[in-house]
Every structure is written in C-alpha cells, then in structure tokens.
Amino acid sequence: MRQGSARRPGHRVTTRHAQAIHPFVAAGGLGGRGAFIGRDQGGAAFCFDPWLLYAAGMLDDPNAIVLGKLGQGKSALVKTLLWRMLLFGRRAFVLDIKREYGPLCRAAGVRPIALVPGGGVCLNPLEARPEEHAQVQLLRAIATTAIGDGVDQAEAAALREALRTVRACDRVPTLPQIAAVLFAPPAEMAARLQTSPEQLAVDVRRAALALQDLCEGPLRGMFDGPTTPGLDLDAQLVVIDLHAVRDSPAVGILMACATAWMSALLARMAERPGRERLINVADESWKIIQHTGLGEWFQSNFKLARQFGVMNLVVLHKLGDLQAAGDAGSRAARIAEGLIADASTRVIYHQDESQVELTRRLLGLSSTEARLITRLAAGQALWRVGDRSFVVQHYRSRLEARLTDTDTGMRIELPAGPGAAAADPSFGR
Ligand SMILES: Nc1ncnc2c1ncn2[C@@H]1O[C@H](COP(=O)(O)OP(=O)(O)O)[C@@H](O)[C@H]1O
Ligand SMILES: [Mg+2]
C-alpha cells in the first residue's frame, strides 16, 4: 500500500444486519447438532433439533408448523425427521389421517394402531390413567363428545359417582359398566347425590344413552371393553391410524384418550429426565381440526409443550383453510392461529400465488421470503427457525425414499429397526 493514499474501506456489516438485505445468505448455520435435514442455500449440511435450539435460546418453543401445497414433500420431511430422531432416542406419537405411516412403522418395528369400526382394536379410554380424578375428567370429556354438548352439573356429578361405584368392584372400569350404573343407579349412589334412584336415572338419562350408543352404535367394539392385548401404547413410535374414522365422533373420543395417555407418559418421562423427548405429530390435521375434542387436544398439548418440552408438529395444507366460515371454522381458526403463534419453527413448502399474501401476513415473512415461496421446487422449503431463515433442500436416503414414497403402493418389505438407516449413507437421491 502506498503511503498517504486514500482508500475507502469496504462496506462492512454484521451478519445480523446483512440479513435485512438478503435473509438467506447471511443467516449462518444452526450448527451441526441434531437430525440431518438436508442442505441449505450455501450447500452446508442443515441439522435441526428443536430442544437443543430451545436450550440455546434460539427458539421460544419446540413446536413446528409445516405448510405447503400437496405433493411437495411435507409428510416425507416429517417421516424422515421422526426416523432420524428415533435414532437419538426420541419418542413419537402420530395421528395418521391418510394411512401413510405404515412403512415407517414397519421399518421401526412397530404396528400402527388402526381404529376401524369392527376392526378388532379396542381401546378402553379409562385404562389410560389409573387415578380416580384423571378417570373422572376423562369420562366427562368422553360424555361431552358422545352427547355432542357439554355435560350439566347433575350429569357431571353422576358420572363421578358412577365411576366410584364401578371402581369399588372392578379395578379397571369400562364404559358399558358406567352406562349400566347410570341407567339404574344404586340407592347408595343416589343418596350421595341427595336424590332418589328413580329421579337420578331420569336426570342422567341423556348421558346414559350417549354412552350406550358409543358402546352399541356404529362405534361398537372400539371403546367398550378392555384394551386389546398386545397394543403397545408405550412403544417408541406410536401411530394412530384414523383413516377409517376421520369423519366420525370416534376422533373426539380418541383425542380425549390420547390426551390422558400422553399426560401419563409425560409424567413417567419426567421421572427419568434424559434424552427422551416426545414429538407429537398431526399430519394433514386440518381435516380433523374441526372435530369436537381435537381442538381441546391441541390446546392441552400446547400446555404440555410448555410444561414438558413436547414438540408439537402440525402439518397444514394452506393457511387459507383457516378462514373457513361457521362456528366450527372460527373455533378451529382460533386454535390454528394459536398454534402458529406458539410454533417458533415454520417450514414453508411451495405455495400458490393466491396463498402468498395470507401466508406472509400470518407468518410474518419478509417480502423476499414471500416471493421465494412461489418458486420453491418439490422437496425444497423455507425454514424460519426463530428469527433466522434458510432455504433447505431435504435429502432422503434410499431407504427413506421408500419409507416416504406416497406415489406408489408402498408395499415394500423393509428391514426392521431405526439402526437400518445408518446402513444407507446415500443421501441426496
Ligand atoms: N426430498 C424429496 N426429494 C425428492 N422427492 C421427494 C422428496 N420429498 C418427497 N418426495 C416425493 O414427493 C411425493 C410427495 O411427497 P409427500 O411427502 O407425500 O407430499 P405432501 O405431504 O406435501 O403432500 C412422494 O412420493 C415423495 O416420494
Ligand atoms: Mg402429506
């Protein structure tokens, strides 16, 4: 350098400020820890673990929302994320509406729990929690769903006393036993409620009929006896296949059971803190979000997420769905908007031009990001992780490609156990 020459220094900014000009170039990686997802715009490996990022203060919560047009690879991302997280000892609970998690289950060595009317799988809701107070809550939630309306005070009290009556003789009560007691309340039960057995039977007939219909109507065989032996609700991966019942009240009942089951599982997990964490997945949940019971399920899970660090992972087709009219629509919209607010990780796949403005507004995207989402190719997504942005190409191993292929019949035999993934290093098919 010559003495005395005037040189203008190059323009320098911190990566934080450069991000305002171009969000993707300067974001910096998330570090190499967590499950491998794919490659970011700079070609670097993109890894993700919501709990590590949460612990590092980069995320406000471990929840994620995955959004995008049909066929863009949303479910494939979720399935590979689960498969890779299972290797880290994480647990997962999946609501499978489209019956597409079978190959993942087979590879992980578990069986999906398919709820089908007359299908031979019975879940006794009251078995989910042994404590009386939890069973009372569960029973009231089930009655609410079965009646299709809230339970009144007399019904709520009668359900509590009916449960006590049955528990006095049986260790694990079932719904038909509760219905029988409500139809013909014993004298002691009526006395505890300061009424006569005849009057009590009249007062709670609505609840008795609703529970009876649950046990003997179209959902017969699904909730009216002891849980089918051999169902492993404690497996590392639990997939509930709701395909056959997606339009029935069974969904609400099941959600009540699942809430109870999950809080029991989390309480057990809390006793042995370690690497065990739970990912709770609702794929294509919009289809069932309007069901009574499911909204409550989501809300209770948000609470659980805060308390226990559950990662709620919700897959939605488009946010335009949230604008649905009607009571159920506005209720579901509130729930979904709550979820968006509570999900610090947003993964956005290709969206049609018509969806961009709404997506931008609800997710708080910059105009660069909003333009980008109409140009993403299949398997490519914009990841908003807290206040950082990445464009990530999702990679699958050959085995994972077979686990996630929704175009073919998916009838391939797969090796069992998550360890099988490690044997196939060929990412980037
Ligand atoms: N990262 C990827 N690379 C290449 N193809 C993919 C990728 N992810 C998914 N696919 C393929 O795209 C198709 C649709 O994927 P899917 O996950 O079912 O989409 P969505 O859930 O968004 O409707 C599947 O057959 C799958 O094999
Ligand atoms: Mg899908």
272 and 408 belong to one structural domain: yes
The reported pLDDT for the residue numbered 1 is 45
Instruction: Using pLDDT thresholds of 50, 70 and 90, give the confidence band for residue 320.
Output: confident
Q: What is the DSSP letter of 244?
A: G
User: Which ligand 1 atom is at minimum distance from the Cα of 79?
Assistant: 17
Check whether 26 has a pLDDT greater than 70. Answer: no
Spatial separation of the C-alpha atoms in residues 319 and 45, rounded to whole Å: 29
How far, CA to CA in Å, does 270 sit from each of 34, 299, 310? 21, 20, 11
Residue 9 lies in a domain: no
Distance 183 CA to ligand 2 centre (A): 45
Domain termination site, one of 216, 244, 272:
216
Q: Which of 162-176, 307-321, 412-426 has the lowest mean pLDDT?
A: 412-426
283 and 376 belong to one structural domain: yes
Dihedral, 148, 318, 396, 100 alpha carbons, nearest 10: 30
At residue 397, what is the residue type? S
Task: Determine whether the shortest distance from the Cβ of 145 to ligand 1 is under 6 A.
Answer: no
**Which residues are CB-contacts of 161 (< 8 A; sequence separation ≥ 6)?**
185, 189, 192, 193
Q: Which of 28-32, 45-49, 107-111, 341-345 has the lowest mean pLDDT?
A: 28-32
Q: Which domain holds residue 145?
A: 125-216
Instruction: Name the one residue in this structure whose structure tokens are 């070609």.
Output: 43
Distance 25 CA to ligand 2 centre (A): 29
Q: Give the three-class secondary structure for 381.
A: strand
Spatial separation of the C-alpha atoms in residues 121 and 111, rounded to whole Å: 12
Mean pLDDT of 175-192: 97
265 and 406 belong to one structural domain: yes
Cα 380 to the chain's mean position, in Å?
Answer: 22
Instruction: Name the one residue in this structure whose structure tokens are 């849980």.
Output: 227
Q: Are strands 388-394 and 35-39 parallel, antiparallel or unpaired?
A: antiparallel
> At 386, which CATH number?
3.40.50.300
Best mutation site among 70, 75, 96 for ligand 1, i.e. most ligand atoms within 8 A of its Cβ? Answer: 75
Instruction: Using pLDDT thresholds of 50, 70 and 90, give the confidence band for residue 319.
Output: confident
207 and 318 belong to one structural domain: no
Residue 7 lies in a domain: no
Distance 268 CA to ligand 1 centre (A): 35
Percent of the chain with pLDDT over 70: 79
Contact (Cβ atoms closer than 8 angstroms) between residue 348 and residue 364: no
Ligand located closest to 67 CA: 1
146 and 271 belong to one structural domain: no
At residue 282, what is the residue type? A
Q: Of 32, 10, 14, 417, nearest to 236 (Cα)?
A: 417
Residue 82 lies in a domain: yes
Determine which residue's CA is closest to atom 3 belonging to ligand 1: 379
Instruction: Using pLDDT thresholds of 50, 70 and 90, give the confidence band for residue 411.
Output: very low
| Helix intervals (H) in 151-193 | 153-169, 175-183, 187-192
The counts of H helices and E strands in the chain are 17, 11
211 and 314 belong to one structural domain: no
Count of domains observed in the chain: 2
Determine which residue's CA is closest to atom 13 belonging to ligand 1: 71
186 and 158 belong to one structural domain: yes
Determine which residue's CA is closest to atom 27 belonging to ligand 1: 405
164 and 43 belong to one structural domain: no
Task: Determine whether the shortest distance from the Cβ of 73 to ligand 1 is under 6 A.
Answer: yes
Concatenated DSSP letters of 247-271: TSTHHHHHHHHHHHHHHHHHHHHHH
Ligand located closest to 71 CA: 1
The reported pLDDT for the residue numbered 198 is 97
Residue 228 lies in a domain: no
Q: Of 86, 9, 53, nearest to 276 (Cα)?
A: 86
Contact (Cβ atoms closer than 8 angstroms) between residue 182 and residue 204: yes
The reported pLDDT for the residue numbered 290 is 61
Task: Determine whether the shortest distance from the Cβ of 76 to ligand 1 is under 6 A.
Answer: yes
55 and 31 belong to one structural domain: yes
Best mutation site among 100, 285, 352, 404 for ligand 1, i.e. most ligand atoms within 8 A of its Cβ? Answer: 404
Distance 213 CA to ligand 2 centre (A): 34
The reported pLDDT for the residue numbered 28 is 59
Task: Determine whether the shortest distance from the Cβ of 317 to ligand 1 is under 6 A.
Answer: no
Residue 5 lies in a domain: no
Spatial separation of the C-alpha atoms in residues 82 and 76, rounded to whole Å: 10
Check whether 13 has a pLDDT greater than 70. Answer: no
**Which residues are CB-contacts of 9 (< 8 A; sequence separation ≥ 6)?**
none
- Per the model's pLDDT, the better-predicted residue between 38 and 230 turns out to be 38
Task: Determine whether the shortest distance from the Cβ of 396 to ligand 1 is under 6 A.
Answer: yes
Check whether 27 has a pLDDT greater than 70. Answer: no
Six-digit token string for 279: 């990912």
Best mutation site among 46, 281, 392, 406 for ligand 1, i.e. most ligand atoms within 8 A of its Cβ? Answer: 406
For the question of whether the overall pTM of this predicted structure is more than 0.85, the answer is no
Would you tell me how many other CB atoms lie within 10 Å of the CB of residue 368?
13
Distance 77 CA to ligand 2 centre (A): 9
At residue 33, what is the residue type? R
Check whether 425 has a pLDDT greater than 70. Answer: no
20 and 98 belong to one structural domain: yes
Task: Determine whether the shortest distance from the Cβ of 377 to ligand 1 is under 6 A.
Answer: no
Residue 227 lies in a domain: no
Domain termination site, one of 216, 247, 268:
216
Distance 134 CA to ligand 2 centre (A): 34
Task: Determine whether the shortest distance from the Cβ of 397 to ligand 1 is under 6 A.
Answer: no
Task: Determine whether the shortest distance from the Cβ of 70 to ligand 1 is under 6 A.
Answer: yes
Determine which residue's CA is closest to atom 15 belonging to ligand 1: 73
317 and 195 belong to one structural domain: no
Residue 252 lies in a domain: yes
Domain termination site, one of 216, 249, 272:
216
80 and 147 belong to one structural domain: no
Count Cβ neighbours within 10 Å for each residue of 157-181 and write b for 16 or more, e otherwise. bbbbbbbbbbbeeeeebbbbbbbbb
Q: What digits encode the pLDDT tens for the residues 216-269? A: 988 888 889 888 888 887 889 999 888 888 877 777 777 777 777 777 777 777
Distance 239 CA to ligand 1 centre (A): 20
Residue 428 lies in a domain: no
Contact (Cβ atoms closer than 8 angstroms) between residue 402 and residue 103: yes
Ligand located closest to 395 CA: 1
Percent of the chain with pLDDT over 90: 43
The reported pLDDT for the residue numbered 350 is 96
- If DSSP states are collapsed to H, E and C, what string results for 18-58? HHHHCCCCCCCCCCCCCEEEEECCCCCEEEECHHHHHHCCC
Distance 50 CA to ligand 1 centre (A): 23
Q: What digits encode the pLDDT tens for the residues 126-182? A: 887 888 988 998 899 889 888 888 899 999 999 999 999 999 987 789 999 999 999
